[in-house]
Amino acid sequence: MPLFSCSKASEGEISLFKMSGFVLDESSSSPIQGIRVVLSTGDTTMTDVHGGYQFRLTPVDGVLPQSISCEDIDGTRNGSYGPVTMEINLTTESPSYNAKSGSFDLRFIDIFMSLL
């Protein structure tokens, strides 16, 4: 299950933002390796052998990711999966944002992809 958190921030700024989770096959719930995962901020990573992904970033000017997209870019090596985009909608007004600790305590469901 993806987990969003930040380390303690100085007043008025957001520090390290951490996000992790898994990309899974919609039918079998099996992990999918080799999927490109992209945040709306442009930060990109690939899923590992366990279908896991992780982001660690410091938002520039307080800009937080608003969506996450997954794309199968390795051809048929792991099957052929259609792209998926999920909205995240993070703001410092979010009920899950703790201004005192400067953290986002958000949990999202894992990302499921369907075979084409």
pLDDT tens digits for range 6-23: 444 445 555 567 788 999
Threshold 0.85, pTM exceeds? no
* Predicted pLDDT of residue 55: 84
Q: Which residues contact 2 (CB under 8 A, 6 or more apart)?
A: 19, 20, 21, 22, 107, 108, 109, 110, 111
Q: What is the overall mean pLDDT for the chain?
A: 79
Residue 19: which of 110, 112, 82 has the closest Cα? 110
b/e burial code for range 31-48 (CB count within 10 A of at least 16 → b): bbbbbbbbbebebebebe
Name the percent of the chain lying above pLDDT 90: 44
Q: Is the pLDDT of residue 30 over 70?
A: yes
- 3-113: CATH class: mainly beta
